[in-house]
Amino acid sequence: MQLENKVAFITGGGSGLGLATAKTFIAEGAKVMIFDFNPKSQEVADEIGAKFVQGDVSKAESVEAAVAKTVEEFGSLHIAVASAGVGGEGDVVTSTVENWERTNGIDYSGVFYTNKYVIEQLLKQGDGGVVVNLASMFGLVAVSNNIAYSASKGGVVNMTRAAGTMYAKEGIRVNAVAPGVIRTPLIDEPTLEQYANLHPAGRVGEAQEVADLITFLASDKAKFITGAIIPIDGGYTAV
Ligand SMILES: NC(=O)c1ccc[n+]([C@@H]2O[C@H](COP(=O)([O-])OP(=O)(O)OC[C@H]3O[C@@H](n4cnc5c(N)ncnc54)[C@H](O)[C@@H]3O)[C@@H](O)[C@H]2O)c1
């Protein structure tokens, strides 16, 4: 049990990578609060033995209230995973302003609000803690036909470095994982097929593989790792 008696707050925990992480955390002994926009996540949470709070990660007050509810429910907070996200669409010309604002509101500002309110709470508790942000391989290299996603994930990369070094002496670690294309409800079948051979590994990734990396980063085994961006992309960004 790598996370015995730890309390974890997981945004976007109702689906995909957040859900795989929630299940793995619970198997490792953690108590989990799922925060998600989709009210159906209540059923998912009940099924896996997590608690659920509904909200919108792109609204600062919603994230602040959800962090407070997690502490009220469990008494403290030790780990956060910022996995709420949307795909975005359109290149620098074809992206609408609405798409730009929505994608960055969720994938970029939402990660900031999560880090801000969680780290405020960790500092109050005075006993360290861990945040893992979901960046993407498209935060390390661009995807030309998706400007908002590329920009927001690039922002998450450097946000993680800044947040992960500011309170390192207080024992607060912030890292990001940068996945390649992973089989989740976010990715449609043609995209999975298109990307399988673009990864040097010759396939797309599985949610459990990302959940296992996040679990390692959240555990004490990773206690000297902070401000790091770890690719998990079958080699995509290595060549
Ligand atoms: N699947 C991939 O290939 C892949 C690759 C790299 C990075 N990522 C990143 O991983 C994260 C999770 O992606 P996923 O593949 O699990 O997607 P997913 O669609 O399966 O899950 C995302 C979850 O976020 C929730 N969400 C969306 N908007 C929200 C909002 N405003 N407030 C709160 N919750 C909201 C959704 O309801 C959903 O439950 C995202 O940040 C994504 O960009 C995914």
33: domain CATH number is: 3.40.50.720
> First-to-last CA distance in the chain?
36
pLDDT, residue 121, reads: 98
- Active site residue ranges: 149
Helices (H), 50-146: 60-74, 97-104, 110-125
Report the nearest-CA residue for atom 20 of ligand 1.
Answer: 16
Q: Has residue 1 been placed in a domain? A: no
Q: Which domain holds residue 82?
A: 7-238
Asked whether residue 85 is domain-assigned, the answer is yes
Q: pLDDT of 168-195, one tens digit each?
A: 999 999 999 999 999 999 999 999 999 9
Pair type for strands 7-11 and 79-82: parallel
Q: Is the residue at 109 inside a domain?
A: yes
pLDDT range class, residue 239, cuts 50, 70, 90: very high
Would 2 be classed as within a structural domain?
A: no
The confidence score (pLDDT) of residue 120 equals 98
Count of domains observed in the chain? 1
Q: Which residues line ligand 1 (CB under 6 A)?
A: 11-12, 14-18, 36-38, 56-58, 83-86, 106-107, 134, 136, 179, 181-182, 184-187
| Tokens (6 digits) for 223 | 């206690």
Question: Looking at the domain assignment, is residue 227 inside a domain?
Answer: yes
Pocket test for ligand 1, best of 102, 134, 146 (most atoms within 8 A of CB): 134
**Is residue 199 a part of any domain in this protein?**
yes
- Nearest CA owner, ligand 1 atom 42: 85
The Cα–Cα gap between 99 and 147 comes to: 10
pTM exceeding the 0.85 threshold for the entire prediction? yes
Q: Mean pLDDT in the chain?
A: 98
User: What pLDDT score was predicted for residue 103?
Assistant: 98
